[in-house]
Structure 1
Amino acid sequence: MMDTRNFDAGKLTLPELVALIEYHNRRYWELGEPEIPDARYDELMRALAGLDPGNELLTRVYAPAVAGSGKVRHRNPMLSLDKAYSLEEVLKWADKYARTPDEPLLVEPKYDGISAGYDGRILSTRGDGELGENITAKLPLIELETAGYRGPLDRPVRGELVIRDDDFRNLYSHIYKKGGGTYKNSRNAVAGIMGLKEIDEMIAQKAKITLVDYNMVSFRVRLSELADRWEGLLAELAALPYPQDGVVLKLADTAYEASLGSTAHHPRGQIAYKFTNIRRTTKLLDVEWSFGKNCLTPVAHLEPVEISGTTIKRATLHNVQNILELGIEIGDTVTVERAGDVIPYIVSSEPGAERRSPLIENCPCCGTGLVRRGPELCCPNPDCFETELQRLAAAVRNLGIERLGEPTLRKLMENSGVKHLADLFELKVMDILKLEGFAAKSAANLIEEIQKARVVNDYQLLAALNIPNIGANVAKVIFAHTDFAGLRKMNVEELSAIPGIGPERAQALVRELAAQSEYLDELLGAVKLIHAAPEPEERPTVCFTGKMPEKRSYYEKLAEAHGYAAADDVNSHLSLLVAADVNDTSSKLKKAAKLGIRIVSLDGFLRELEGAAAPEPEEPPEGQLELGL
């Protein structure tokens, strides 16, 4: 029997491809229980196009099975869209139909839901493009979002039935589907609810589905600018609070676009760029808990699986909260995703035949009972060797001692009595020569670099204390207002008044500076401190990433009202990255982590701003986004 999940589309015969596509069509459209992600299904369709370009499966228009009250013939067909999987394919399409290099295009979200239209009386799905299902009975659940309006569906419109990200997060964790259990994702929820014959139970649970107007969000761009603006446009669309699986591109001249006509499957003047994060399924063999400076991180050991030519054996599980939310246990079949050069991570799981919990209760190093701190699992023992090692390694990185890596630090801690940062400054060449792998020259070079680190910027030393959420960039902000001596005298209220610090971080600073007072005195006696405060007008910078409930400009205005400067990109000068999902693996989050920039959730950032005197920015108008060239 053919493996319906793990296959190489390029090696399948034509009959095998057809059978597999038919199987997955039924799983997705009729049962609402897809087995594979969209990117894998698209691999099958591309392979079919290569073997049999005229196959009717390539032009068939699909729609999910819904519970309706009859068929509705669309006055204007609701066709599907042709697909592209790279910017090069998009540009090839545009070059084919553009009249000049300055041909205007519209770039819009490709919403991940159910296509529908409302003529003022009847709400219907796309169906096969010509005939849709009458789902007018579902109107009590549906809210319209269109230009300048958000409320009951009261005007003709074509759009996508979706569940907004904020609604799914806030409402659907408490909404139970027929037969029990909550919905795994917003698209499954839309399909499941639209498939119900009776919706009284959903109304009682205050379920809500949004019909978002296809014309509401639209970026206008010239073809000649598209390549340069592509990444920025994708980022803007990603910030919208709707589930998306790609981008729609249209010729902006609607009369010209209409004149191009359409095939039986799609209009020629439009195309869909599909997101192609690659996913594969495999078995979770074990979970290893690795040490960080403040917590333990779970790492999945996987049955080897190939993704984009790379054999994947390990993947991050982020933290204990992520494990609990995904319900992952050892022995499960897991879906692994890898986009570009991002570290592979697990996005979902299915229970295996034999399962065991990956959670641990005691520290693998010292045996101390572990504790939960937010989403993390932590060893509370301050003398735990592995925790001390990771904290020392982090401190060394903050001081910029490049030659002193974790393996050497481990040897120094085990053989030379090194425990804290101050101990390193007492080392001699002979201490290093006792370590395996060091000769006279390499030992002398290491000691020289350690001694150079005695002359240190105040913000580097503060970051080296490993106080949670106080990295080098935040420390720079603090020392723009005081020096080390002044910092040690400040109370929570005074620290909270510094823009970008807030009460939570201020409390951590006061607590840790008091707890580490004796150690800090020793450290200050071993170094020469440089205080080079930035100019008074320099403000901490903040960047936002991910899909958030409101437009990004709203949060930028809120941040600026509280003393921040909004930034578009992550770089070494950024003070703070605010993420809709801190466990995401976007390029911004990855770069911020690499640079040691503080990362905080949107909820955490808003809590930090609570109680501040600055006014809130005006609520952004709902509806049409203000989009320019």
Structure 2
Amino acid sequence: MSVADESSDDNPYLRDPPTEFVPLEELSAEEAEHQVEQLRAAIREHDRRYYVENDPIIADRTYDALFARLRELEGAFSLSHPDSPTRSVGGEPIDAFETVEHVAPMLSIDQSGDAEDVREFDRRVRNEVGEGEGVEDISYVCEPKFDGVSMEFVYEEGSLVRAVTRGDGHEGDDVTRNARTIGSVPQKLHGDPPDFLAVRGEVYMPKDEFQAHNRDRIERGEEPFANPRNATAGTIRQLDPTVVAQRPLEVFYFDVLESSELEDTHREELERLPELGLRTNDRVEVVESAERSSADAAGDEGSGDAIEEAIDYRDRLLEARDDLPYEIDGVVIKVDDREAREELGQTARHDRWAFAYKFPARAEVTPIVDIAVQIGRTGRVTPVALLEPVDVGGVTVSRASLHNPDEIAEKNVNVGDTVRVQRAGDVIPYVEEVIEKASEGHYELPERCPICESPIERDGPMAFCTGGLACDAQLRRSIEYYASDDGLDLEGLGEKSVRQLVEAGLVDSIASLYELERAELTALEGWGETSADNLLSELAEARDPPLPDFLSALGIPHVGPATARELAREFGTFAAFREVVEDEPDQLEGVDDVGETVAETIHEFFASEANAEAVDDVLEHVSPQEVDTETDAGNEFDGLTFVFTGSLEGVTRGDAQETVEAHGANATGSVSGNTDYLVIGESPGATKLEDAEENDVDVLEEGEFREFLVEHGIDLEGE
């Protein structure tokens, strides 16, 4: 029975379907199976109307009720099936993707942004089709060139059997389980499908969904995707299909790779695909040549009328580009006739019957689609502009910092405005100015944190979430910082692993790191026995941390490694430090590197009930080492100030700072006129080097720094 027959008017779940169902215990096995067949057929039809026809006949809530009933029946009566719409909710994670060969090569497309190259493509086509004689009646199908991920979808007897990434064009990754979770990928074709059909489609993430997804990632403290294509590629190759099911992917189908019922023209193929439930794009146009003179047709000069229409199509689509709900980066011009395609053939890399006429890259000026707020480790609120992806210095940028509320007000920036984007030091994108105002007033920060709902308070030009370690965003970043080089330097606890531990519910505080168990870790994706044992070993060794490292690891605002060393040297023990902080914070101002502002910040950190409780919990697992406040290694560098940048071989920057400070020097984080030496390791910061040149500061490469220490009879700490 075809899907069309199953979807006939006697199916009660098509129009005005009931959402109250007979209890499962009152159904026989035969009745349950019949209801499952009806629900599957109805849901497929509703999917087709929603994704292909864009004309749903039931409300979303009603659809959800039918879907839930189908899942309930399949589970209760063991009626699961690979073709069922319920397969779209995902499944168990997989270990790896299998590499499989394509039904037909999925080659790339020759391309250019120059109209004359497009005309040359047309001249070659007309001269090569028909045994070298000029041809007048070449027709082209013009389509948007989607900026997504190209895939092969294979159907046998109407059922989806395989979905494969393009890979190298001849073989790719089998991502069928992930593809089944995409709403516009039918598990079973509609109507009367061919026995065998392999189609090429483009998986993409709609622009508004991409911005919403990026906003969510930013607010959760995760790195956003650079553009919709990266978001799509990163999603489709997830090892966990349930993750894919939660992300907003769609598909356009645009080519028949192989079929048991091939059509004569590409336009006929595109007309048939929606009849099968395969969604095509409504911007496709067919252009045809008008009659041309025999003299013109016989030569290889000039070009056909069809190609000029195709060029015009590209120009019109370029104007409409920003209004489309999906990203495109040009148009594709394809020979319509299949026999002519076969005659034109292929090169090793691309089909000779198709050509892509590319758009120019968006450069620097782009609209703001949305504004999100990012919560940092210290609670600082940073507004982030989400942009239509734009090229800035050869890099695609989809977000830019707005820095702080005062700068937003000064630049009068808001959602919808067209802005110029620059990159500070060729690294951090930021909004330079508003080019075209499309909104009233400027963006205002929310009153409460989007993560923990704690009040957001202003501190001069800055804004901060007051949630402290009770805020998940601050918590995750605090754990990352606790394990970083500036903290306890715990290997195996980077951004990705910390996020995984938090999302799995294994870590909800810094203290809970020390409560992790081997079995919990090895049960996580990507964790083996070795990685679990290594992390547990690192944590065991970190139960007696050096006091300076521990003070820095807590993430107290303004207390980095250098200030932490001064505090440890001054107070000797954590208990003595905390007693002064809580009872006599004014005494902190007598410590080098600690002024009134820093002293007040330290006091406020411990005055927070959530922070104090979090620190107490950590102290149940660790015992910071005592520092001998009387020890003085020497004063060889008394009065000198060092700044370190880049990574050093065999030691951390913290080790190098401790070394020079132990011998009387100051180690600071930024270069100024008071700096005596800038020590540079591998990949040094450009800003520090520029500041050193501007302030005439001596620069020591790592080898020179080590020689400098040897000359003074000093060994480098940490080696």
Q: TM-score range by the shorter chain?
A: 0.3 to 0.5
- Structure of greater relative contact order (alpha carbons < 8 Å, 6+ residues apart): 1
Instruction: Give TM-score, length-normalised by structure 1.
Output: 0.41
Q: Which structure is larger by alpha-carbon Rg, 1 or 2?
A: 2
Instruction: Give TM-score, length-normalised by structure 2.
Output: 0.36
